[in-house]
Structure 1
Amino acid sequence: MAGDVLLQQLDYLLALAAERHFGRAAARCHISQPTLSVAIRRLERDLGIVIVQRGRRFEGFTEEGRRVVTWAQRIIAERDEMLADLERIQGRLTATARIGAIPTAVPASPYITDEFLHRNPAASVRIEALSSREIARRLADFEIDAGLTYLDEAPPGTRSVELYREQYVLVASADDPLMGKANVTWAEAAGLELCVLTTTMRNRRILDANMAVEGVRYRPVVEADSVDALYAHLTKRRATIASTAWLPQLSVPQGFTARPMVKHGPSPAIGLVVLDRAPSSIVAGALVAVATDIDIAARVDQFWTQAQRDELH
């Protein structure tokens, strides 16, 4: 097996693995497509193997190519960790914290990111709304530094910090008779025109399970893959079942109010999840430190309690 492998070649390879298209991978790397193709071919020549299955377009990786991609993910992750560690020693972290969050945790993510940026003013943050399954995959492939997800779905080989537990409230028009009650049953909520997340989302399955406990089935009028989309579809007739963790950021729309849903079983835990590896990731460690130090559950509960008090006055 020949020659040296350049880190830049591995960067290009990972871009191709992410985009699965030579043109998009080149654009991602801010180079021309011929430049990327030449770099990949040189990497193949230096390693003495075929990495990419080629036809008229990108057709995937060979078996050896898939192994090279896996090693490239590790090598580039270690390079980035080395640079972040040197920055930490110099008292300055400029890395981008890459966080994958399930849609229901996105509204609560500023609690983590605001404090992270306060402690590391030269750093930046990138948030992506992902499924719990995609969070697990991207953590394993070193594509994100941390995930915000349901802890009972935390992937193996990770460590976690619980942030809060989901408490559910019905958000509906203040004129609806149900909003005069202290608590709303799931059967009562099922009679409304509900806006809920799609069935691919864990939150939706939790809602469906609570409905089933009370022996009811319902047909939502709006299904969406983001919390913002649910709020955008609220009208005088339409309602949604929200987590209290959404309210500090999204609040309750004017003309609407929120009432607690009857609780069935333990409340699902949302937490920060990172890879459990040594040496630990500098960025992941900084995020864990933030998650450990701040009490998000208390802040969410305080906001919800104050919102209820304000409504009484």
Structure 2
Amino acid sequence: MIDKLEFLLALAREKNFGRAAEQCGVTQPTFSAGIKQLEATLGVLLVHRKSRFIAFTAEGERVLEWARGIVADSRAMRQELRALKHGLVGRLKVAAIPTALPMVSALTTPYRAKHPNVTFTVLSRTSIEILSMLENLEIDAGLTYIDNEPLGRVRAVPLYLEQYRLLTSETSPLGDRDSVTWAEIAKIPLCLLTPDMQNRRIIDQLLREAGGGVPDPTLESNSMIVLFSHVRTGRWASVMPEKLADTLGLTEHLRSIPIVEPEAVHGIGLIVPDREPMPPMAAALVAEAKLLAVALR
């Protein structure tokens, strides 16, 4: 039964029988037969399909909810039994919003020192994608905003407050200032993250409230590295979190200027699914997050 529920989760992620079968490491006929066997066992139709996947039925959506819980518990049980014999072993998957990526090493480095048999996969994703991946059991934890948009059924460990800086050349019109306002920033060309990023939505709102209208950046990217590399040329300006700017490093001709009026801050934290018992590897990551939160105060 568990393997058939895993099939269902893969289908929910991929919305395609072929790709879901590949993800599960089986042929498409085997995958389709598994879904049909699950339907026969439960006595309901789970999937609307013709020659391809169309949608889950109402019953399929409810079974999908149960499947997420059952599969998560099954994985957690196997992980805990393995940990009892060998300590923590396995791969921990974490997704982080681009602005929080530099903080991931502050969690993974002490974690690996204590649990050397755990390896990591770290992905850069939007805040919306992180919540979806947690729900569909694609990742174990996320690093994201915890106070700006709804999070749903997760457990959050607050880590730090994201504060914003104008990154610009010292020779730019605002480059000699000790602080700048959002209203002043709204009048200069900026390179910013793409609109699907929550950081961009936060900045857009702040600029609109400052009277700048709808922001029209000169360059957009879903990569902070791309933005920062343009700013480092001295010919572009951007708004970035303080910790990110400090981590990436400034050239001697580049300035990081505090933005005031208003002084905007947003909480960043670690989130994991709100389930008990918590999988051992995720529980160990939560423990590291709590230690990091104390160190960052």
TM exceeding 0.5: yes
User: Sequence identity, in percent?
Assistant: 39
TM, length-normalised to structure 1: 0.82
Counterpart position of 2:25? 30
Counterpart position of 1:226? 223
Counterpart position of 2:54? 59
Counterpart position of 2:197? 201
Matched residue count = 294
Q: Equivalent residues in 2 for 1:150-189 (5 A)?
A: 150-152=145-147, 153=149, 155-189=151-185
Q: Secondary structure at the match of 2:104?
A: helix
CA distance in 2, matches of 1:188, 1:67: 51
Counterpart position of 2:278? 280
Please tell me whether the aligned partners of residues 187 and 212 of structure 2 are also in contact (alpha carbons under 8 angstroms). Answer: no
CA distance in 2, matches of 1:246, 1:264: 20
Question: Which amino acid is 2:18 matched to?
Answer: G
User: RMSD of the alignment, in Å?
Assistant: 2.6
Counterpart position of 1:290? 288
Q: 1:92 aligns with which of 80, 87, 91?
A: 87
- Show structure 1 runs of 5+ residues with no match: 300-313
Please state how far the C-alpha of 1:81 moved relative to its aligned partner: 0.4
Please tell me whether the aligned partners of residues 20 and 58 of structure 1 are also in contact (alpha carbons under 8 angstroms). Answer: yes
Change (3 A) 1:297 1:92: closer
- Show structure 2 runs of 5+ residues with no match: none
Change (3 A) 1:139 1:73: same
Q: Deviations over 1:175-219 (max 9, x none)?
A: 325322222233333343211123333322332343345433453
CA distance in 2, matches of 1:265, 1:144: 33
Change (3 A) 1:184 1:33: same
Counterpart position of 2:99? 104
Please state how far the C-alpha of 1:14 moved relative to its aligned partner: 1.8
Q: Secondary structure at the match of 2:120?
A: strand
Q: Secondary structure at the match of 2:277?
A: coil
Please state how far the C-alpha of 1:91 moved relative to its aligned partner: 4.7
Please tell me whether the aligned partners of residues 272 and 291 of structure 1 are also in contact (alpha carbons under 8 angstroms). Answer: yes
Q: Deviations over 1:77-123 (max 9, x none)?
A: 11110122123323522232232322322232222222222322211
CA distance in 2, matches of 1:50, 1:213: 50
Please tell me whether the aligned partners of residues 70 and 141 of structure 1 are also in contact (alpha carbons under 8 angstroms). Answer: no
CA distance in 2, matches of 1:211, 1:296: 32
CA distance in 1, matches of 2:238, 2:16: 40
Change (3 A) 1:276 1:50: closer
CA distance in 1, matches of 2:130, 2:151: 9
CA distance in 1, matches of 2:37, 2:75: 23
Counterpart position of 2:139? 144
Counterpart position of 2:10? 15
112-121 vs 206-215, which moves further: 206-215
CA distance in 2, matches of 1:61, 1:29: 19
Please state how far the C-alpha of 1:73 moved relative to its aligned partner: 1.6
Q: Secondary structure at the match of 1:149?
A: strand
CA distance in 1, matches of 2:265, 2:173: 27
CA distance in 2, matches of 1:200, 1:81: 32
Please state how far the C-alpha of 1:54 moved relative to its aligned partner: 2.0
Please state how far the C-alpha of 1:265 moved relative to its aligned partner: 4.1
CA distance in 2, matches of 1:180, 1:295: 34
Counterpart position of 1:210? 206
Higher relative contact order (CA 8 A, sep 6+): 2
144-153 vs 203-212, which moves further: 203-212
